[in-house]
Amino acid sequence: MIIRGPKVRIAGLVLLSMMLGGCVFFPGSGPTTQEVMKPQEPIDYEIIDVNAEAVNAMRLWRSASLASSFGARKPAPETRVNVGDVVQVSIWEASSGGLFGGRGAVEAGSGSETLPPQTVDRDGRIKVPYVGEVPVVGKRPSEIASSIEKSLTGKAIEPQVLVTLPQQTSASVVVVGDLTGAGRVNLNVKGDRLLEVIAQAGGIKAPPHETFVRVTRGSRAATMQLSAVLASPAEDIFMQPGDTVYVFRRPQTFTALGAVKGAGEVAIDREDFTVAEAVGSSGGLIDAQADPSGVFIFRYEQAAVVRAMDPDSPHLSGNSAVPVIYRLNLKDPSGYFIARAFPVRVGDIVYVANAPGTEFTKFLRMALMISSLVRTNDVTWSAD
């Protein structure tokens, strides 16, 4: 049996009436502004309307700190000797005819000798004629000189000793990673800071806001963004012998979703990146779809920042990060000034909700499509 157009049109009208009755679900790109701001079920996140107070609270945000991990203590002005260092000993006597007389006199009636450079052995010792083995590890050069002078008393004529370190491999820092150069950097007696050591290793390749520095000292390690070190002189810590500095690049991105023209992962290409720049980088809002009053930033926020905005928040638990949804209203002209000041951080999700009429617009498009199909197509199907 063949059934043609009229009954098909009736079936189409029935389907259309079902859609008018709200029986058809139209998928959206995410929750509406109303669904985010007034959820029907209990929530385990904080909802904050961004205003001037919220922008000010952002000043409490802190990146990881090298100074708090390692302190800002300046190293001792005189470096201590360690295994592997090269030590040179020079000995003077008050007059000739002593143990070292005639071997290199610097003035009449005196004698001196400069011993060949020696590498401190695994036992932490060097050898000095007429003294024997001298323990040197952990001592300053002046302390080693005093020890040798004391051992030569009664043997040499009023001995005076000078100890120098032509090479001190133990007083160095290993610098590796994304640099123009890498390797071992010897520390100056005056004390070298982190940025000085990085500069001596050749400097960085990537922009500072994409460059991170991990300092390892013994069993402790801490990582910080290089731009934060540059912004805070206190974070430019003094290096200690044996430190390891690892410099690496970490691209900075956020995720744009919802009613924006360029959804996806977007690069944060500058410091002090804001919501206004985030919306612009993702192509801007879709005029016919976006709800300007529903621009949201999803983030795990530092507890100190949330506490400043809502001291009684039920989601605060010590210093644990708090899941927060920030909301900006760009229908309010003042919201654009706030958008220029509110920061977007790495890992944030910037979501723009659909306008309330978007779902109805989808319905109308579907209704027109079905109505056009019923009017113009002669649909045929067969049945046994």
What is the structure's pLDDT at 376?
A: 57
**Residue 74 CB-half CA count within 13 A:** 8
Alpha-carbon distance of 187 to 182, in angstroms, equals: 15
Per-residue pLDDT tens for 59-83? 889 888 999 889 877 776 567 888 8
**Residue 137 CB-half CA count within 13 A:** 11
What is the structure's pLDDT at 30?
A: 75
Per-residue pLDDT tens for 257-284? 999 999 999 999 888 899 999 999 999 9
Mean pLDDT of the chain: 83
Alpha-carbon distance of 91 to 155, in angstroms, equals: 13
Of residues 318 and 370, more confidently modeled: 318
Per-residue pLDDT tens for 42-64? 778 899 999 999 999 998 898 88
Instruction: State pTM to two decimals.
Output: 0.69
Of residues 311 and 356, more confidently modeled: 311
> What domains are defined for the chain?
33-49+252-360 (3.10.560.10), 66-75+171-248 (3.10.560.10), 86-167 (3.30.1950.10)
Band (pLDDT 50/70/90 cuts) for residue 136 is very high
Query: Which of 253-262, 314-323, 336-345 shows the lowest per-residue confidence on average (mean pLDDT)?
Result: 314-323
Instruction: Tell me the sheet residues that pair with 259.
Output: none
SS3 13: helix
What kind and span of H or E run contains 364?
helix 358-376
* 17 has a pLDDT exceeding 90: no
Of residues 362 and 188, more confidently modeled: 188
Alpha-carbon distance of 330 to 295, in angstroms, equals: 7
Q: Is the backbone of residue 205 left (phi > 0), alpha (psi -120 to 50) or beta? A: alpha
What is the structure's pLDDT at 325?
A: 94
What is the structure's pLDDT at 77?
A: 57
What is the structure's pLDDT at 247?
A: 95
Query: Which of 71-75, 339-343, 365-369 shows the lowest per-residue confidence on average (mean pLDDT)?
Result: 365-369
* 170 has a pLDDT exceeding 60: yes
Band (pLDDT 50/70/90 cuts) for residue 88 is very high
Sign, CA dihedral 235-240-244-245, equals positive
Per-residue pLDDT tens for 243-257? 999 999 999 999 999
Query: Which of 74-78, 321-325, 372-376 shows the lowest per-residue confidence on average (mean pLDDT)?
Result: 372-376
Mean pLDDT of 297-303: 94
What is the structure's pLDDT at 375?
A: 54
User: Beta strands 322-328 and 46-49: pairing type?
Assistant: parallel
Q: Is the backbone of residue 67 left (phi > 0), alpha (psi -120 to 50) or beta? A: alpha
Mean pLDDT of 168-191: 84
